[in-house]
C-alpha cells in the first residue's frame, strides 16, 4: 500500500465528485487528501490516496475513461470574438450550439441592444483542444459576420475557469520545457501548500502569487538583471574578507590569502555564472586559489552552487542529511511540515540547486564550549585558527558558525542578520519565504537563544584589529558585514554596488 497523488478535471455539475469517489471506494482506495476550491478553479480536484498498485491502475483507468483524470497540460486556446447576430428569437441559442459542439468554455459574454453596438455580441472562449479552434471559426464564419479580436495559444490569456492550467503554464516559463507528468506533480505540491495555508487563514491566491513571484524574481535578477553589493575588508596578516550580497538569498564570503582562498557559503546555483564573473573581476586569482567551501547550513541560498566549484565542501552531518532528504525541516520538530517540504522542492527548482558533491563532514567534537556552543572542529586559514561552532538547530538542523578570536570575526549564518540594512527588494524577496512557510526558522525559541549567545560572544571578542576597528565583525547570512553596537548592528566600512555589466 503506497500513497498516490493525481489531479482530476471534474465537470462542474451535481454528482460529478460523487462519481469519482465511487470509483476510488470500489477499488478500496483510502483518500488521504482531497482539495477543491471553486473560488480558485471550478473543475480541478486534487487527490492523494493509499491503495495497492493494482487498485491504483484500475482507478486511473476508470477515471481516464470518464474523462476525469488529468494527464496532460496542453496550454489550450483563447478566443475573443465580436459576433453580429440577428435580432430574432433563438439567435443566441443557435450561436451557442456551435460553441458547445466544439467544447468551448465561455469565459465572458456581453450583449445589450441599447448599447453602442446593438447588434454585436462580445464573447471570450477557452478551448482545451486547440484542434477545435479552426472547426469552430469555420462554422461561425459561414453563418455570422464576425471579427477575431484575440487569439492566443500560449495559455497566457486563459481565465480563472482554468486557473491551474494557467498556473502550470507560468511554471513552465520559469522552469523551461518540462514534462506534463512533472508539472502535474508540482501542481499538486503547490496546491498542498495553499491548502495548508488556507487553514491558517491565508488567501490561496496569495500563496500561488508568492510561488510565482519567487521564481520570477530569481529569473529576473540573474543574467543581465544581476547585481550585487560588495564589501572588501582587510583583516590583517594578508587575509582579506570579501562579502558579496547577490540580489536574492544568502551572502557569499571569501577569506582570501596569497596561498589559498576559502569560500563561506555559495549563494543560489542560478547566480553561479554571475558570481564567478564578479569574483574574477574584483578579486583576481581568488578562484584559482580556491581550496574549499564551508557551508553554514543546507538552505539553497547558502549551498545551492556548491557543486559548481569542484572543491571539497565542509559541512555538518545534519546539513548533508537535509540535502539528501530534500526537506529543510529534517531533524527538527517541524520535520513533518508540508510547507517546509514543498518549499524545499520549489526553491531548488527555481534556483537551479546544485549542492556540493565533494563533501567533508565535521563529525568529531573538540570537547570544548565557546559561549554556549560546542566546538565541532578547528581549521586554519591564512595561519589563523577558526573554530567551527555547532548551532542548536533553531534556524535549521546542522547549522554551524565560524569564529576566529584572533581576527575578531564571527560568521553568524542566518541566526544574526542586519535586517535593518537590507534593501527593500531583498526584504520583499525574503518575505516571500515567510509567506510560504510562515517562518524561516524551524524553532524560533532556539533561534532567540542562539542569537543571544552569538551577541554575547561578539561583545567579548578582542583582538589585533585593523583599520581602527575595535568590535567583532559579524558576517550574517544576509545583509552587510556589521559590528554590534549597544542596540543594533551597523554596517562596517564601505559598501560598493556592482551591476551585471561590471
Which residues, in sequence order, are CB contacts of 383 under 8 Å at separation 6+?
A: 237
> What would the grid cell of residue 381 be?
586559514
Neighbour-count burial for 252-286, b at 16+ CB within 10 Å, e otherwise: bbbbbbeeebbbbbbbbbbbbebbeebbeebbeeb
> What would the grid cell of residue 371 be?
559561549
Query: Is the pLDDT at 466 greater than 60, yes or no?
Result: no
Give the 3-state secondary structure of residue 151: strand
Residues 187-215 have a mean pLDDT of: 93
| Run of H or E residues at 497 | strand 496-499
d(CA 312, CA 236): 26
Neighbour-count burial for 327-361, b at 16+ CB within 10 Å, e otherwise: bbbbbbebeebbbbbbbbbbbbbbbbbbbbeebeb
d(CA 265, CA 260): 16
Which residues, in sequence order, are CB contacts of 298 under 8 Å at separation 6+?
A: 315, 318, 319, 320, 322, 323, 328, 355, 396, 398
414 close to 422: Cβ distance less than 8 angstroms: no
Only one residue has cell 559590528, namely: 483
* End-to-end Cα, the chain, rounded Å: 57
pLDDT at site 87? 81
pLDDT at site 161? 55
Q: Kindly report which listed range (23-27, 33-37, 157-161, 491-495) carries the lowest average pLDDT score.
A: 157-161
d(CA 79, CA 2): 42
Which of 270, 338, 274, 266 is closest to 302 using CA atoms? Answer: 266
pLDDT at site 405? 92
Phi and psi (nearest 5°) for 299?
Answer: -60, 145
d(CA 441, CA 415): 9
268 close to 218: Cβ distance less than 8 angstroms: yes
Angstrom distances, CA of residue 127 to CA of 106, 168, 238 = 9, 16, 67
250 close to 302: Cβ distance less than 8 angstroms: yes
Q: How confident is the model at residue 158 (pLDDT cuts 50, 70, 90)?
A: very low
Query: Is the pLDDT at 97 greater than 70, yes or no?
Result: yes
Query: Is the pLDDT at 156 greater than 50, yes or no?
Result: yes
pLDDT, tens digit, 9 for 90 and up, residues 124-135: 888 877 778 888
Strand partners, 244: 230, 252
pLDDT at site 486? 80
pLDDT at site 74? 67
Length of the chain as a residue count: 502
Query: Is the pLDDT at 444 greater than 80, yes or no?
Result: yes
d(CA 43, CA 163): 9
Domains parsed from the chain with CATH numbers: 2-65 (3.30.70.260), 77-152 (3.30.70.260), 161-220 (no CATH), 223-499 (3.60.15.10)
Alpha-helical runs (H) found in 153-203: 163-175, 180-199
Q: Where is pLDDT greater, at 106 or 400?
A: 400
Query: Is the pLDDT at 443 greater than 90, yes or no?
Result: yes
> What would the grid cell of residue 174 be?
520559469
Which residues, in sequence order, are CB contacts of 209 under 8 Å at separation 6+?
A: none
Strand partners, 106: 125
Q: Kindly report which listed range (5-9, 290-294, 399-403) carries the lowest average pLDDT score.
A: 5-9
pLDDT, tens digit, 9 for 90 and up, residues 48-64: 999 999 999 999 999 99
pLDDT, tens digit, 9 for 90 and up, residues 328-362: 999 999 999 999 999 999 999 999 999 999 999 99
Q: Where is pLDDT greater, at 410 or 163?
A: 410
Query: Is the pLDDT at 164 greater than 90, yes or no?
Result: no
Amino acid at each position: 500500500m503506497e500513497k498516490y497523488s493525481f489531479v482530476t478535471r471534474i465537470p462542474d455539475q451535481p454528482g460529478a465528485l460523487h462519481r469519482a469517489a465511487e470509483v476510488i471506494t470500489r477499488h478500496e482506495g483510502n483518500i488521504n487528501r482531497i482539495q477543491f476550491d471553486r473560488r480558485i478553479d471550478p473543475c480541478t480536484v486534487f487527490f492523494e490516496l493509499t491503495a495497492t498498485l493494482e487498485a491504483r491502475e484500475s482507478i486511473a483507468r476508470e477515471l481516464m475513461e470518464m474523462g476525469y483524470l488529468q494527464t496532460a497540460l496542453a496550454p489550450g486556446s483563447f478566443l475573443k470574438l465580436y459576433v453580429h447576430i440577428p435580432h430574432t428569437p433563438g439567435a443566441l441559442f443557435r450561436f451557442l450550439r456551435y460553441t458547445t459542439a466544439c467544447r468551448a468554455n465561455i469565459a465572458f459574454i456581453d450583449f445589450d441592444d441599447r448599447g453602442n453596438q446593438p447588434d454585436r455580441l462580445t464573447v471570450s472562449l477557452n478551448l482545451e483542444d486547440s484542434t477545435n479552434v479552426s472547426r469552430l471559426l469555420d462554422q461561425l464564419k459561414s453563418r455570422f459576420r464576425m471579427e477575431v479580436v484575440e487569439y492566443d495559444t500560449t495559455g497566457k490569456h486563459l481565465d480563472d475557469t482554468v486557473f491551474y492550467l494557467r498556473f502550470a503554464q507560468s511554471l513552465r516559463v520559469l522552469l523551461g520545457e518540462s514534462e506534463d507528468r512533472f508539472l502535474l506533480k508540482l501542481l499538486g505540491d503547490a496546491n498542498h501548500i495553499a491548502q495548508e495555508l488556507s487553514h491558517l487563514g491565508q488567501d490561496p491566491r496569495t500563496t500561488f502569487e508568492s510561488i510565482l513571484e519567487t521564481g520570477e524574481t530569481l529569473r529576473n535578477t540573474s543574467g543581465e538583471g544581476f547585481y550585487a553589493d560588495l564589501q572588501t575588508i582587510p583583516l590583517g596578516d594578508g587575509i582579506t574578507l570579501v562579502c558579496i550580497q547577490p540580489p536574492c538569498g544568502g551572502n557569499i564570503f571569501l577569506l582570501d590569502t596569497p596561498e589559498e582562498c576559502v569560500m563561506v557559503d555559495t549563494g543560489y546555483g542560478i547566480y553561479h555564472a554571475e558570481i564567478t564573473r564578479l569574483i574574477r573581476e574584483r578579486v583576481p586569482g581568488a578562484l584559482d586559489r580556491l581550496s574549499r567551501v564551508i557551508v553554514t547550513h543546507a538552505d539553497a541560498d547558502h549551498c545551492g552552487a556548491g557543486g559548481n566549484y569542484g572543491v571539497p565542501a565542509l559541512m555538518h552531518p545534519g546539513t548533508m542529511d537535509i540535502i539528501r532528504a530534500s526537506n529543510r525541516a529534517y531533524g527538527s520538530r517541524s520535520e513533518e511540515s508540508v510547507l517546509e517540504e514543498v518549499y524545499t522542492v520549489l526553491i531548488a527548482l527555481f534556483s537551479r540547486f546544485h549542492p556540493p558533491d565533494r563533501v567533508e563532514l565535521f563529525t568529531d567534537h573538540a570537547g570544548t564550549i565557546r559561549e554556549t556552543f560546542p566546538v565541532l572542529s578547528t581549521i586554519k586559514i591564512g595561519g589563523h585558527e577558526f573554530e567551527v561552532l555547532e548551532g542548536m538547530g533553531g534556524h535549521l538542523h546542522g547549522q554551524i558558525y565560524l569564529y576566529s578570536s584572533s581576527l575578531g570575526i564571527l560568521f553568524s549564518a542566518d541566526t544574526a542578520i542586519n535586517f535593518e540594512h537590507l534593501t527593500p527588494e531583498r526584504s520583499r524577496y525574503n518575505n516571500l519565504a515567510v509567506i510560504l512557510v510562515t517562518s524561516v526558522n524551524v524553532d524560533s525559541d532556539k533561534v532567540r537563544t542562539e542569537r543571544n549567545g552569538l551577541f554575547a560572544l561578539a561583545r567579548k571578542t578582542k583582538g589585533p584589529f585593523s583599520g581602527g576597528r575595535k568590535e567583532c565583525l559579524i558576517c550574517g547570512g544576509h545583509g552587510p558585514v556589521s559590528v554590534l553596537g549597544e542596540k543594533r548592528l551597523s554596517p562596517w566600512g564601505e559598501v560598493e554596488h556592482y551591476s551585471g555589466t561590471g
